[in-house]
Copies of this chain bind each other. A is one copy, B any other.
Amino acid sequence: MATRLSDVAARAGVSVKTVSNVINDYPHITARTRAKVEAAIAALDYKPNVSARSLRKGRSDFIALAIPEMGSPYFAELGAAISRAAKRRGVTVLIDQTEGEADAERFVLDGMRGQLIDGIIFSPLATAPAKLTSDSTGKPLVLLGERPAGGQFDRVAVDSVQASHDATSHLVSLGRRRIAAIGVGGTSTGAVRRKGYRKALKEAGLPHDPALELAGTGYHRPDGAASMRELLALPNPPDAVFCFNDLLALGALRTLADAGLRVPEDVAVVGFDDIEDGRYHSPSLTSISPDKEWLADSAVALLLDRITGNDNSTHRDLTVPYKLEIRESSAG
């Protein structure tokens, strides 16, 4: 029914091997032969069967992107960028939502066996950092985001300690003295960003007040809104807040608006991720802006180098460039 390689070969009057050579761009084919084959391919509207090819080659040209959720803006934007980067390099991305569940993440770390993919880009959430130190998967895997030192995985990530330090220092430079942090709990992201936050406070000679560090239960708007409510209930509320991602910051802004407080006059707010929502919010949100295109392209390139065996170095650790985008929520 479907046209096969042999149909093309028959029509072009050459062997199957020759057609395969043309399709796979092997050298040493006369222009005339190539033209004949290409004409036959066009005439029959032939498309190679991907299953057969991957069965034979042991490669599918699929890679997986395993993220906690594709519905939240940061991962949506990241997924879009990785998907484009992969397409440019001729591979297809298959997005796996772990929902932050330990079982799903274990499956990913185990190489998603039987899943027809050549490698994985993985943004862990539930998995404890310690579990990430040994490479159990049979497939190449590139880690996104924080990870304790000494890990054995390739990784692409922002220097979160430095970025968090910059964000906090920016608030200090505005003359703020009681700077809160939202998102310190749970994940390794929280721990790493808190480190930068504390470092900046210390440098500025500001006291470290545990009451100003809010853990919350997650990294979404409702969590930010709830944490901000807690902060406002304090006898001595903060005059600035560094939120460990933009969703938390947008939730916090909502609480501040409800409370009738002015941003940045009463409370300055800084986020992390630079998602589009923040740029259009009123007030627009100051945020750490990682170069997502760079991140996406580097992660895909690194993974493909591992898959093809072009890169046999020990694990690589790439640092994503970022900027602090200063906007209305912390202006002046």
CA distance A318 to B253 in the complex (A): 39
Min CB distance A124 to B, Å, is 18
> A18 interface residue, CB < 8 Å from B?
no
Residues of B within 8 Å of A301, CB to CB, are none
Q: Which residue of B lies closest to A114 (CB)?
A: B47
Contact digits for A53-88, partner B, Cβ 8 Å, 1 yes 0 no: 011000010000000011111011101110110010
CB-CB under 8 A from A69, the residues of chain B are 80
Return chain B residues, CB-CB under 8 Å to A50.
114-116
Q: How far, in angstroms, from A49 to B48 measured CA to CA in the complex?
A: 19
CA distance A70 to B280 in the complex (A): 19
Indicate if A94 sits at the interface (CB-CB under 8 A). Answer: yes
A: interface residue count bin: 35 or more
Is A113 on the interface with B (CB-CB < 8 A)? Answer: yes
B55 lies within 8 A of A51 (CB): yes
The listed residue (B60, B92, B97, B282) touching A83 by CB distance below 8 A is B97
- The verdict on A208 contacting chain B, using a C-beta distance below 8 Å, is no
Q: At the interface, yes or no: A254 with Cβ under 8 Å from chain B? A: yes
A95 interface contact, C-beta 8 A? yes
A47 contacts B113, CB within 8 Å?
yes
A75 to chain B, nearest CB (A): 8
| A211-232 vs B, Cβ < 8 Å mask (1 yes, 0 no) | 0000000000100010000000
Decide: A251 near B280, CB < 8 A? Known: A47-B113, A51-B51, A76-B70.
yes
**Which residues of A, 123-139, contact B by the 8 Å Cβ criterion?**
none
Given contacts A71-B80, A83-B97, A92-B94, 4 further A-B contacts (CB under 8 A): A47-B114, A51-B60, A76-B79, A257-B282
A interface residues (Cβ-Cβ under 8 A, vs B): 47-52, 54-55, 60, 69-73, 75-77, 79-81, 83-84, 87, 92-95, 97, 113-116, 221, 225, 250-251, 253-254, 257-258, 276-277, 279-282
